[in-house]
Each structure stands twice: as C-alpha cells, then as structure tokens.
Structure 1
Amino acid sequence: MQLLELPEEIVVHILHFLSALDLLQWRTTSRACCKTVDDYAQLQYIIQLERDGLVDTGEPTVASYAERLHHLHDRRRSWEHIQWKRKFRIPMSQDCQTYELVGGMYVQSRTHQDLTIVDLPTAEDETPAEPTTLALDFFSRDFAMDPSQDLIVHLDDRMEPAGGPTPGTRIIKLHIRTVTTNEEHPLTQTPVLTVPVPQHVLLASISMQIVNDVLGLFITNGFWQPRLVGWNWKTGQELFDMHNEHIPQNAAGFSFLSDSALAIPSTLGVGGFSLYTFDPRGPRTPTDAREPTNLREPSDPCEPSDPCEPADPREPHTRTDMLRPRTPTDPPRPRVPTLCTTLSLPLLRMGAHPTHILMHADPFMAGPRKAAATARQAGLATHQAGSTTHQAHFAAQSSLEEGSLEDALSDEDSLSDGHSSSHIRSPSQSVAVAPDSRLHVITIGYESADAEVRHFNLFVHNRTFLRELAAYDPSVGALRVPWRDWGPTRTRLMEEVIPSVLLRYVYGGRAVYPLRHLSTDGLEKHYLNILDFNIRGKPGDDAMKTFGVARKSTGHVRSRSAPTTGTAPPIGPALHASSSTLHGNNSASQLDFAGGSGAVGGGSSIAGGSAADGGLTTADGGTIGGRTDRSTREDEGVTTYVRWQPTTILERALFDMPVTTSLPFRRSARCVDEEFHAFELDQHRIIGFRRDMGDLTVFAF
C-alpha cells in the first residue's frame, strides 16, 4: 500500500513529523502531495514557522492550527510595518545603574542594592502591571537572568578585607537567586560561586551570560590577560577556565552559541572569531592521582613532564589546589573548551588594525516563562546525553544545508489565510525564536594608519557559526577560515547604524534603533527603525513567492515590476552619503541620497543598486538599495523595503580591498511623534527610552 492510499488524516499525522524542508520537497513530487500540504493548516504551520525563524515550544494552547497560522501571518505583517496593537507608558525611576530585559521582564537597579521588576504588558493586556521592588543584602555590580527558570545571578566584586581568609585578593562572588523573591535558587547546590582575582586589578570589563544550566563569566581590564570561566549553576561544578594560552590574545568578550558552544572575538591581527565547543555535563571525576594539573588535554604535546609542577606564582589565577598532586577524592579539573575553527575578518592595509570587537545577541531562555514554576517544583534538570562527536551534535542543530531551505521556500505557492481568529489565550506563547535564527550584531572599531577611527556593524546569523562547528574534523584540527570563504555570502557589513547606548536592541533576527532625519523641507522627523535579517530566499527570486506575501490579506504589497516613488527615510550613515554622519549620538543631520552609490565620510563609499534593478526612488532623485520588495504607507509614515543586492564598502584607508557582503535584510521605518534615545525589543514588544531613562514606552505587537 502506498502512503497516499491511507486515510488522509493518517497521512497528515505522518507528515506532521517532517521538517519544513522535507514537506516542501515532498510537496513537489505530485499534485496530490501538493494539495495535501496546501490544504492542512498544521502542515502549513510547520512551513511558516521555519519561514519566520521560529519553533513551536510545545506549550498547550486552546488555539487551533488555523488560528495559530493566522496569528503567524498577523505577527509577520505587524512587524514588517511596525503596526503595534497597544501602547503603554510605565513609570520608572530616572536613576538606573544596571538593567536587563529578558522574556518580557524588565529589571533595573538604582543603587546596586535594590531591584525594580516589571512584567511588561502584551497586546492582550488592558493595563500594565505595577513594578515591584526588592532589597538586596549585597552589592550587585551587574546581573544576568533567565525568567523562564526564575533565575538571576548577581555579581559582587568587593575587596577582601585585610583580616579576611585570603587577604590581598578580590573575591568575585556570583549570587544565584530567584528573580521573583530574591531567595537562594532552590535548584542550585552552590548558592554562591567565587572567583579570586588580584586585589590591584581594576576590572574594566565584566560580562555574564546564561544558557540553560550553563553560566559564563568574562573578566578583563584591557591589560591583564582576559579570563573566561564557565559553571553548571545547578551543581556548582566548574566546566572550564580559559586564561593565558587557552584564550585568544586580545580577546574582547564572548557569546554563547548554544549550551555547548561559544565564540570569542579577538582584535589580534585583522581580527576574527574563535569558535569552541565544551561539554555542558562537566569534566569526568578523576580516578588517577597523577592526573596532570595543567588545563590542557593529557595528550597535548605541550603537557609538562612533571604533573606536580607548581603554576607560575605571578599568574593572577593561581590557586593553592594547583600546587599539589591530585587525589581521587578531589573534584574534577575543568577542561579547556575545544577550539574548532577561527573565522577571520577582512584583510587590512598596513598600519590599520581593529580597536575593539563587541558581540551582542538576545539572551537565551530555557523555555517559556509560564513553565518556570512547574520546572522548579519538579526539580528537573535539562541535561541531555551528548553526542559522541562535536560535529554530530552541531549537525543536529544546523541540519539544513545553507540555501536549501531558502530555495525551497522561494518556490512555495502562497496560502490564503482567510481563517477567522477567535479570541484565544496568547497563541504567541506557543512559539519561540529558533536558536539558529538568532542574530549576532557585532560592533567593530578600526583605526587607520593616520589614527582615524571608524565604526562598523557586522550582522551574522547564529546558524553561520553552528555550521562551521558542525564541519569540524578532530582528525584535522582547528582551521582558520579567511574572510573570502565565509563573510561575503553570510554576513552584512554596514558603517555603524545602531548606537551603542543600551543593549537588548536585538532579538531573534531583528535589530531596532532610532534615527533623527532632516527632510528636504527642513522639518525634523524621528524614526523607529527595524532591520530584519530573517529573510528566506536569494537575490533574483520572485519576492512575492520568497516572502509568501501574495495573500488576500496582504494585497498592499507591490511587486518589483511596478515600482513606486516616494520619500523614504535613510537607513542611517551606513548606506547613504551624509554631511554629518551619526555615530551613536543621534544628532540631526541633513542626509543626501546619492543614487545608491555615495561617499560615506572619510573617503569610503558603498556600492549598491539603482532604479534600473528595482531600487526605491526618493524625492531627491536617488535610490535605495537594489532589488526590493517594497510597501509604502505614506499616510502613516511607514516605509519598508528588502535589500537583496550586495553592498560594497570602499574604505581605502582601512581595507586591503573592497569589502562586499550580501546577507539580505528587510528595513522598516515608522515616523514616531516623540524622540527616543534608544530602543530595546523582545519577541512581543519594543521598548522606547528617553534620555532621562525615566518612563518606559512599550509598543506591544
């Protein structure tokens, strides 16, 4: 019996276990297969989730698949055209020392010894919740959190008093607490983790990140060798400790790629990203008393001949337990993560060098927030058996070959979403951003030979890093990949458009930023801008098919064959000529369009498209960016377009050759009636901040 001879309900149930790519490939095999995929909302739901870079969380919901599908379409339109459903104003203190936004929870501290917690409203809420304030019994210099686990980790770096047990050192203490009650977290076996550092060291840079059970801490002052330490925050076990030769020189921070992988940017040479894997289950318990004290793997040829040789006492990380032989009762020594590959940045001219490289992506969450209480009561750990090889683990996370899904999505026929949506309890809670769809916004500073400093934003998907890890071959070892082999097709480089005022300006595949613009009539306008890099397809594809917008409910989208004219705000100093470029201060400037290929201060220029290949024609006679799928609502002050064509930065004082990048993105801009200093966003909302850091303005989608 063939599959299609079975009852259709059974066929659909079987197909429900396929991936989006499998469904799209199976759909092309016959008309009957095509009709089956097109007619069933639960199969279309799988495809549309992949299109938007989302995954189903598995949370129970009363919404049918037709309602969920309708919600996805509505969500897509709302974000593309920045059409929020509700707007809230939440009063907050102007005095803010530290802050964090994760999973719809905004937390800030005024004095380093208090917390103000706000559950941000959604589009379904009538009024916002009242903020709550908690007092801390320690000094919190910084904190990281995961509301889905009711977890917050506070960093206290106070000095050890002269009469203390270890005088002459500074003890960094990490307090593992609950967000909601500020109690010791019930799932941790070690409520306070400690890291000793020399007392004289001024810690200019400290950052923490949490991913599931893993907690990472990066510390440096720019002169002292940087250090990266990782723990399992539930067991308190140290997973790795990277310093000295085990961490790249000039390391400039870190970013988790998953709960078993991380990236470390470095400004050494032309700059680049070192990708590592580690075991989130921790090192094995020692059974040999002669286990080497050095942190290298035992097979490393640089292993010292004497396993009891003391560490260099001048090293700030020296601990007394490294000065004696190991015993079977000692805790296992943390291993150094495995270096898999290093991705290089573009070649530079003689005398030019990167000054800083900062990676930023949205924080990980272990699951939906509403499941946190149940998880705490059950006390369930989320450890999973790891694969026997690194490449098998990451191949599972990035199983789709680059371009294969995009090509298939480009050939998908549109599905009319004429479903009526009944009132349901937050269908948006049943979806989350897919880990491989997370966007890394990387801010890079370059200094030329004549001491001129320029800043750029590099946009890279998490899947790009995961695919490099999946290709790692232990028998070959770590490789260095030149920029030409990965950057031009998988990234987009712009002169800095996102001001580094506040973090959390990126979530999933989107980044948000403000812009002030002086129009040709001399009026100053304020814009809310969104760059969305979750674009499926490739240059030259039919935009109507690529984006799945040929639907009755989205008939306002025009095809490239019928271009329209209108005035569009500039994307920022990255893509257009400017008499006064914006570098984070949002100062008003007169921006002139230059036909898609204009000089960008300092002798650089950027080559783009023209009106001939579907670019947007502005009132000034210029064009914006190559082939586009554009919808303009002049009456609402909204402009949106898709950038398909590559852009080339000709910064002759910095780069050895023109730098061309082609990662497609959608840019949407809406004119707003007030000026914001910065924006943050998460899955369901955008938060606007004014310069006084007072009230929050929440735009709920």
Structure 2
Amino acid sequence: MQDTRSGVSYPELLLSLRDHRRAWERLEWKRTTTVKVAPDCQAYELVAGVFASSDGTNLTIVGLPSSTNDGYTMTRTPRNQITQRIHIRSISTNAPLAILIFSISPSDNFQEPVLQFGHDLLEVHYTPRILIWNWQQGSLIFDSSREILPHPISDFVFLSHDTFLITSTALHLYVFNPPSSVTLVATLHLPVTHELGGEIKVHSGPLHARPPTGTLFTPSSSERIQVFSVCYGLHLNLNLKYTMFVHTRTLLRYVERYRNGEAIPQRVVPWDLWGPHGTRFMKNDASRVWLRYAHGQRVIQQRDSTSGSKIDVIDFNYVPPSSSSALTPESPVKPLHGNSFRRTTVTRSKPTVLACGTLPGLAVFSRGRKGNPFVTKVSTSLPYHVSSVALPIPFEAFMIDDERIIGVQVRFVFGLFVV
C-alpha cells in the first residue's frame, strides 16, 4: 500500500490501515447494499469504486456505496439525454486539450476487441493485433503488425506506464523506447509440458494514474498480483486448467536489470530460474466468467456450493498480526463468526506440488485420463493467506476492489450486492 498524501497524520493513517487489513483478514464488512443495474449487460468496467455497464445503447454509471458514502447512479438512454459539459485541461499549463479521435482501419479479424488504459496509454487488443495510443498526445505509439512478435498472441496487460506483457505459450516482457519502438526484455517460460499446446490469459487490477479521490492509501501499481489462467490441451478437448499467481514486481525486476545494464535484451528465462519461488501454480477450480476478480494483491474466487455461495479472498501481501512472528509453513484454520456467516482464515507457505504426467507424450491423455501435462513435477511456494466465508445467497460471480466485495446476481434485473 502507498500513502495518497491525504494530509492525515501518520498515527491516524496507521490505525486506519490496520483496521483495513483486519477487516479484510476476517472478512468483516461494515454494511451491505443492493444496487440494481440495467439488464442485458454487454460491456462493463469497475474502476475506483465506479461500476459502468452498457447494453449497447444505454449507459449506466454507478458510484458504489462504501462504509462512508451511499453512492450514486446516473443513466443515459436515447430517451433521457443527459448533457454534461466537460472541460479537459492540462494540469501543468492549464491549457485546453483538444478532443482526440482514434480510428481503426476495417479488418475481417476485428472481433471481441478489448480496451485497456494505463496512465496516459490506451490499448486495443483484438486477434491478432495490438494497438497502443498515447491518448493525451493523440499519437499511435505501437502497432503489433509492424513488429516481430510471438505468435499467436493470447493476451496483453500493462505492467506500468512504460512496460507491458503479452502471452503466447510463455510470458514476454516489453518496454517502450520513445518515440515509437519497443524492446523485448525477457521471455519467461512456464513448466515444460508434453506436446499439448497451451493458452495463457492474464488479469490484474486496474493501473491507476493517480490514487482514487478520497482514499487514504492505495495499492502500489508495482505490487499488483497478476493472475494467469493457463489451459492445456484445448485442441484435444482436454481443457486442463491451472491458475498461476505472480507479483508484478517479480516481472519488473527483469526490466530494472535491463535498464541498469545488468542484463541483455531478449533474455530467455527457463521456468526453474524464476517460477518455483516467484509464483504459486495451482489447479484451477474457480469460475471466472466475470473480470475484476483481482485488485492490488488480493484475488476473490468462488467455489461451487449446493446452496448459497462460498468465496475465498486470497491475499498475497498477508502480514502476520505480530511483526515479530514468523510465517509458519501452514497455520491452522481459524473459524470466525459474525453477522450470521461462518468465516475461516488460513496462511499457506508450504509448496504446492503438481505431479508430472505418468507416461511420456500423449498416451496418458489419449485414454481419457486427465492427469497433469507436466514432464516433471511442478513445485511453487509464493506465500499467501486465504479468508473464506459461506454466504446463504447464490451469486453468479464476484468482483473486488480495495474497499468492497461485489456479488453479481443476473436475474430479470441485473443487480450488484455490495459488502
């Protein structure tokens, strides 16, 4: 976490931070609220406590309630025109900024485009192309069609304002070199597998240019957890799914070494040199249909339940209650009760071990046995803490930010349950 320069004294700030961490560890929320949102959600975003959704025609913007405010809702429809005069000015010179318009040439492959913002950058990713603009200057600074990139590209994420990562069957780290070129810094490989092929998707919390208004502290952009969803054997309909968690700072170390002249570009890093201690690689048993399930160093995931919903909040920045106490290999499960919900907490630092495939090649999979695809066993040990709670209400998905857990219910009216 980093201070937002709110002017609050350090003793008060420390007290608030401890209360904040304790509430997350115990999943003790201060209030619950139900927010109704227009149905037929085709696009959505959750950033800085604001949830925006659209059905392709109407736009709904909801300022989500928190422990200190009740939130707000604004809807724009063709029948209800809301006009807002917006003045965009430069902070440094107070000069007006021109309205910037970007155009994308028609393409037969332009399907399901994904937009991402990172500081002053806007990225559009669609198969098989990546375009990045500096939206403040109105200039195109990167077009993947002009570069030699890994093929095929599975996904993209900004790591910082001048660093990004793309995935294929490995992780590729790039830095911007003004005015318009990029440099491949390093390629990080995943565990060696039998010839099953793989697809890697990546997700993390939003990359803020500045702290959200009114906050006392905010997660550092370099401390975000990156969640990689890895699937092997798609072409064989095996769908062997795993999740890998990596700190952003682990990836940025390779960028720092390159910039300090300590490493040559295009460095190839085998799994054994970075993965076992820098990641947590687990079998995937969580449903992640909706995004925004990660924020800062926390990830929320839902487990199957015959009645209600069971959620885990995984914290990769867990601090023991006493700074002098060492992180135990496996702390006991602690049951907690409150607000009629049963909660548990547990800290894990023992390695997660995934066994290797029992036979070489595809033989073990061709007989319908869905074992692990790895040539050798995979052991990872990035420590984390899990807080769990069972809710009596069924939800389709959960999202998270620094102040809230948002449960999504899709009924005749689309709604958010904010805790």
- TM-score bin, normalised by smaller chain: 0.7 to 0.9
Contact 1:134 1:182 in 2 (8 A): no
Q: Does 1:72 align with 2:17?
A: yes
**Mapped pair 1:631 → 2:417:** no
**Cα contact 2:295–2:402 (8 A) shared by 1:** yes
Compared with structure 1, are the counterparts of its residues 182 and 208 closer, same or farther at alpha carbon in structure 2 (3 Å cutoff)?
farther
Distance (Å, rounded) in 1 between the aligned partners of 2:37 and 2:263: 56
Deviations 1:249-269 (A, max 9, x none): 111121001000000001xxx
Question: After the TM superposition, which residues 194-593 of structure 1 pair with which residues of structure 2 at under 5 Å, given as runs?
Answer: 194-198=103-107, 201-220=108-127, 226-243=128-145, 245-266=147-168, 271-279=169-177, 282-283=178-179, 334-335=180-181, 337-349=182-194, 351-354=195-198, 356-370=199-213, 429-447=215-233, 451-472=237-258, 473=261, 476-517=264-305, 524=307, 526-535=309-318, 545-546=322-323
Match of 1:59 in 2: 6
Q: Structure 1 132/89 Cα, relative in aligned 2: closer, same or farther at 3 Å?
A: same
| AA of the residue aligned to 1:532 | D
Alpha-carbon distance in structure 1 between the residues aligned to 2:263 and 2:202 = 30
Amino acid at match of 2:59: L
For residues 421-473 of structure 1, the C-alpha deviation after alignment (integer angstroms, 9 at most, x for no partner) is: xxxxx6xx121111221011111110189652211111011001111111224
Q: Read off the aligned partner of 1:673 and give its amino acid letter.
A: P
Residues 136, 682 of structure 1: CA spacing in aligned structure 2 closer, same or farther, 3 A cutoff? Answer: farther
SS for the counterpart of 2:330 is coil
Residue 117 (str. 1) matches residue 61 (str. 2): yes
- Preserved CA contact (<8 Å) 1:464 1:490: yes
- Asked whether the 8 Å contact 2:303–2:309 carries over to 1, the reply is yes
1:612-644 per-residue CA deviation (whole Å, 9 max, x = no partner) reads xx8xxxxxxxxxxx5126432256401000011
Is the alpha carbon distance of 1:656 and 1:631 closer, same or farther for their aligned partners in structure 2, counting shifts above 3 Å? same
Tell me how far apart the structure 1 counterparts of residues 229 and 400 of structure 2 sit (CA, whole Å).
18
The AA in structure 1 aligned to 2:418 is V
Q: Relative to structure 2, which stretch is displaced further, 493-502 or 443-452?
A: 443-452
CA distance, structure 1, for counterparts of residue 311 and residue 251 of structure 2: 30
Gaps of at least 5 residues in structure 2 are 91-96, 358-371
**Cα separation, partners in 2 of 1:364 and 1:448, compared to 1, 3 Å:** closer
Q: Deviations over 1:590-617 (max 9, x none)?
A: xxxxxxxxxxxxxxxxxxxxxxxx8xxx
Written as runs of structure 1 = structure 2, the 5 A alignment for 1:171-186 is: 181=84
Q: Which moved more, 1:626-635 or 1:76-85?
A: 626-635
The answer to whether the 8 A contact 2:183-2:265 is kept is no
Unaligned runs of 5+ in 1: 1-53, 138-178, 221-225, 284-333, 371-425, 519-523, 537-542, 551-558, 561-613, 615-625
Shift of 1:197: 3.5
CA distance in 1, matches of 2:23, 2:83: 32
Contact 2:330 2:350 in 1 (8 A): yes
Matches within 5 A, 1:668-687: 668-687=387-406
Whole-Å Cα distance in 2 between the matches of residues 87 and 628 of structure 1? 30
Query: 1: distance between equivalents of 2:66 and 2:161?
Result: 29
- Identity among equivalent positions (%) equals 30
Q: Distance in 2 between matches of 1:511 and 1:631?
A: 20
User: In the TM superposition, what whole-angstrom CA distance separates every residue of 1:86-130 from its partner, at most 9, and x where no partner exists?
Assistant: 1111121222111100000000002x13210111111012x442x
Amino acid across the alignment from 2:104: V
Counterpart code for 1:210: F
1:696 is matched with which residue? 416
Structure 1 position 191, deviation (Å): 2.2
**Residue-by-residue CA offset, 1:502-541 (whole Å, 9 max, x unaligned):** 00000000111222346xxxxx4532221111136xxxxx
Q: SS in structure 1 opposite 2:37? A: coil
Alpha-carbon distance between aligned partners in 2 of 1:114 and 1:460, rounded to the nearest angstrom: 37
SS state at 1:193 partner: coil
Kept after mapping to 1: 8 A contact 2:185/2:264: no
Query: With structure 2 as the length reference, what TM-score do the two structures score?
Result: 0.86
Shift of 1:246: 2.2
Match of 2:381 in 1: 662
Give the Cα–Cα distance (whole angstroms) in 1 for the partners of residues 191 and 205 of structure 2: 25
Is the 2:287–2:303 contact (alpha carbons within 8 Å) kept by the matching residues of 1? no
Aligned length: 392
Q: Once the 2 structures are TM-superposed, how far is the Cα of residue 245 of structure 1 from its aligned partner?
A: 4.7
Bigger relative CO (Cα 8 Å, ≥ 6 apart): 2
Paired with 1:651 and 1:449, the residues of 2 have a C-alpha distance of 20
Query: Greater helix share, 1 or 2?
Result: 1
